[in-house]
Structure 1
Amino acid sequence: AGVHLAAAYPGTPSTEILEELSRFPHVYCEWSTNEKVAVDVAVGAAYAGRRALAAMKHVGLNVAADSFFYASFTGAEAGLVIVSADDPGMHSSQNEQDNRRFAQFARVPCLEPSDSQECKDFAVAAFDVSETFDTPVLLRTTTRTNHSSTPVELGERTDVAPRRKKFPRDPAKYVMIPANARARHPLVEQRVLDLAAWAETTPLNRIEWRDRSVGIVTAGIAYQYAREVLPAASVLKLGMVYPVPEQLIRAFAAGVERLIVLEELDPVLEQEIRLLGIACEGKSIFPLCGELDPTVVRSAAAAAGLAVDRSPVTAAALDLPELPARPPVLCAGCPHRGVFQLLSKKKAAVSGDIGCYTLGLLPPLSAIHSCGCMGAGIGVAHGAGKAGIGERMVAVIGDSTFYHTGMPALA
């Protein structure tokens, strides 16, 4: 894709993206202080005419939201792609928010690959879309896509010439004072309409006609589950999940007897289809919470009377003795151990933070009583202290989190 710069903040399941990119000599890579800084760094490079990428886990986009939104209004001089690695099932996260909502909120196109090959291909497409429509592009992946391995045909790197020699002097476009922002907003709304028209014909969206008694609208990793569990069904695979192709959806819906939406987490596509006045089923069949997998999809589909590939299998009951729990623990020699041991002994009220030291929550230390998001611990301790509860609060935070979002609460 000719990327010149990539910036990120580590967080499962996105960490490996920058680790792998750093192996390419033509790409400048950096771990940024937090996700907002990563997006700002990428925006700066894109303003300067170089293709740039910022990567983060889903909750990182919360931290970067201000930058994400202003970049939607300004556009850039070169391709700008933001990778959001969502975590259905919360394998390593405090929530399982669906960041397709962020794309709708910021009026930014969103692409969602379904396997490793598409991750590569859609990244290339995302930069082309970004430059064609003067917009950031959100590339949404999920844990299962990020942590799976499938054959990928890489091809040769395409060197993209810088689109500028100097930083642009265009205040009306890049200085978001209210007067300029008001002028930019109608352009953003027109861009959404232009993207929706483009979505009708892009090969990123495609119909696969099979048995027309059932039609599945799906995207991302859920497409793989649809093909495995419902192999006879017709499928509308959406590679661009925002904005959606209205006419393509209408044509597909008209060609099937029963329209079903299979998507992970929020009913984003289901709601878009219902807003078109098209009847469909989705979360009435498949779960709203948690990560999907073939077993979950198969059981839900069979219960809804759909023709699945095989009957759901009940796991065999094994007559085994109860095994002791083996939860993760702090590393031997970790300096947090002694701190947590003392705090536990003193029965102190402790507000914690995001990091491996959150394991101080578990026995035998049992020394953390709140943990919400990166950098929250100090602010929570301060607020509780000012509430007049009559006991002193202790905040615990790691070094990376301290620089990430911990310092503002101390200012």
Structure 2
Amino acid sequence: MSDTWSKTPHRSMSAESSSSGAQHHALVAEFLTALGQALASMSLYGAGHPSRGISRTRAHERLAAALAIVYPLRLTFLDGDIIVGLQALHELRAGDLAQRLGAAGVQRLEFDGAVPTDAVMTALLDTLYAAAGPHGTPVTQMVALPGIRLGPVALLSDASEDNSPTGASGVGRQENEESAFMNALVTAGLQEELDTMTWIASSTAARGRVPIGDVEAVIRGLSLSMQAEHDTLIPLISLKSVDEYTTVHACNVSMLAMGLAESLGFASRDVRAVGTAALLHDIGKVKLPESILRKTGALTDSERALMCTHPVEGAKLLGARGEGHALAAIVAYEHHVWANGEGGYPTFQFPRRTHYVSRLVQVCDVYDALSTERPYRAAWPRARTLHYMRLQAGRELDYDLLLAFFDLLDRAERRQAAG
């Protein structure tokens, strides 16, 4: 008899990983596998059945082995993905265990480095099963056990109590560590995704194919950053130099599009599909000369004509990947066509409304493009950007999506002000 709890991750290390990193990740994967099996046995057997005790002991032993090398051990579960410390394990498929834990509010699981006692290990399994079992009640606040904390990802950074025996001074230190950790998680993740996106562009230009696996890894990192912000203003990346514009713009538009899609009630899987399409909306620019992309003055007529080919080039690159990436190809092709189909480029032979996701990405694209410094002009002030976008409502920009986007920005600002 099988149970989906046992479908847990197995680590497959890349050639670039160090031997020590491989050992660390393998130990974590073994612990998660044993944890999934222990939870599965709880759903299959009664409280006194020996199989439950055997699986609990195995999970306890695997945890002890992991904590002997990885300490403190901090695990994050988001949409079926797993992050150990600050590193998103892109090649580790977290499977149903991580999906269930995340959905049950156990987005973070932290061990302070000390091996828990048998009683604490039993309490941990009981807590996880109570939240994510067949008739579980999701966790809505931080739960503390001796040496262990678990709960929603954002709440752990706001925890007001500490379970360590260090007394009052330990409370403040723990809070500071958590706050610093969450900030580092966002910052480190975004820098990694920026570097990966730069590599994606160069690889696509050289090979004529988009490395979709790496694109999905970037989306996971950006999604994690959004989750860590916990509904405050989306963590848009600031330019360090105008040379970074194409890469930073792609990541910002992706985060804005995922935030807007989420606010509109899209399912998690669809939010990521929108984020992927947004991340690749300008991928056709890899076919353009750098001299045009970085030109500080106005483009000539011939240069502008060449610039206007990037939607078609992007659709060709993504279309070559097959039907599974059709949405990204459509958005790449349509994101500069007006929402009403009567302007922009490329020109439709028969005017029509563009795809809903194309219109969604277009709103985010225009906002970030105007708000960010470009090689040929300074960033527009926020008021000017929003005024321009209002003027384009119902023409260049979809009216309803623009209202939803403004509402997203307003709610984010209110949360920031309240926090």
Q: Which has the higher helix share?
A: 2
TM-score, normalised by the number of residues in structure 1: 0.27
Bigger fraction of residues in strand = 1
More relative contact order in 1 or in 2 (CA 8 Å, sep 6+)? 1
